[in-house]
Structure 1
């Protein structure tokens, strides 16, 4: 599979692209997996994810970790960055943001397996961690711990 074949259908990579105003409007793109047939894990980490509280409009902050085992598709990283950034002005609860990201990626990529950990910073004194995965983790592929400790504050 040539590089031109892999990237031929992309609309955002290598071009100036505006940040989508809403996650529903964001275009997530995928490319054929040039290593299809090889089982391996991919990790994306977004340590500065932001969204808005749907009730107060105040910002919420999270550290997201997305792991997946690709099958036939890879997510194009610029489109993923733009998609995640589109939550910046979007009002939704932590659970909704985390699970909707995981579900949208799973629908787009049809991976062998996918998980997302949303490690949300405290608001009102309570941190919320949200986890979603498409099924049991495969036992025969190395998938490291997400490495984000539980929130401890100053303690």
Structure 2
């Protein structure tokens, strides 16, 4: 008899948990700022979990971080943005790049939604390829304070010349596995 009771109770637990989770979500006061609504083990995230407009320019964009859940491990996190867009500061024409960003997190990791919004803010921003690429790296370093970071900006040609921009903060930590960026150099049609 005790086994039947335990089985019935066990089968009701997932439904009870689901109902409790829904009640918790319903109880969230949507009038409060998102900072008070979204927590990631000690991090206050203001953009994740809610609709957020793209920043007007990179200076206004907020890069958010969260505590590194594997802070004791040496590993590489990679962001790949194959459709990055900015504007030429002289002509106003669009420039396109494939960005590959590798970093070795320290105590913090970069929250990806805030990073996507940060990259989106370049769509109406005029800057040379070199400036965009290095600026992105420096903002990531300032926000997350990684042990190491590198960025590869593979810019698509305009006027017949592709410009590739590479930046890193120093030597990578010993023992870390660094995969190849995986982007072939520009070859034209051939």
Give me the CA root mean square deviation: 1.3
Structure number with greater CO (CA < 8 Å, separation at least 6) is 1
Query: Displacement, 1:138?
Result: 2.7
Query: Displacement, 1:63?
Result: 0.1
Query: Displacement, 1:110?
Result: 0.8
Q: TM-score, normalised by structure 2?
A: 0.78
Alignment of 1:1-155 (within 5 A): 4-6=39-41, 8-155=43-190
Query: Displacement, 1:108?
Result: 1.0
Contact (CA 8 Å) 2:83, 2:97: kept in 1 or not? yes
Unaligned runs of 5+ in 2: 1-37
Query: Displacement, 1:37?
Result: 1.1
Q: How many residue pairs were aligned?
A: 153
Unaligned runs of 5+ in 1: none
Query: Displacement, 1:136?
Result: 1.1
- Which has the greater radius of gyration? 2
Q: Distance in 2 between matches of 1:83 and 1:23?
A: 6
Query: Displacement, 1:130?
Result: 0.2
Deviations 1:39-65 (A, max 9, x none): 110000000000000000000000000
Structure 1 segments (4+ residues) deviating >4 Å: none
Deviations 1:104-132 (A, max 9, x none): 10111111100000000000000000011
Deviations 1:3-62 (A, max 9, x none): 945264000000000011100000110001011111110000000000000000000000
Q: Distance in 2 between matches of 1:58 and 1:7?
A: 42
